[in-house]
Amino acid sequence: MHILWSLSMNGPMRFGVLRKNIEGVSARVLTERLRTLENAGFVFRHYEQTIPPAVTYGITERMKDIEKVLAQLEGLARKWQGEGTGIATSQGASVRASAHT
């Protein structure tokens, strides 16, 4: 999801820039995920034979249909982040209360 969101928000990016935008992912894992997304038709790959090779990734028209959903998910995540841990606390409290009865 993070790969798609990053490409959707920032536009086409070279592999190195995309890797920097997605913290904690190895080059190998990012490459595997990008290949999977490319095979599914969500991401395009543009290769230029330069030294060093320039590989750019971006979202396809198919992915643009999903952009609205990603924007809604981002809004929901920001809302929940603003609420703090209220949901986890209330669930944890009910679990603790039932454990003591």
| CATH number (domain holding residue 55) | 1.10.10.10
| Mean pLDDT, contiguous 10-residue spans, the chain (101 residues) | 87 94 93 95 94 93 83 86 62 41 38
CA-wise closest residue to 5 among 75, 52, 95 = 75
Residue 20's domain comprises 1-65
Do 43 and 73 belong together in one domain? no
**pTM (predicted TM-score):** 0.68
CA-wise closest residue to 58 among 12, 10, 21 = 12
How many domains does the chain fold into? 2
Q: Enumerate the H helices of 1-101 as residue ranges.
A: 2-10, 15-21, 27-40, 61-64, 67-83, 86-100
User: For residues 18 and 7, is the Cβ–Cβ distance under 8 A?
Assistant: yes
Do 53 and 83 belong together in one domain? no
What pLDDT is recorded for position 37?
95
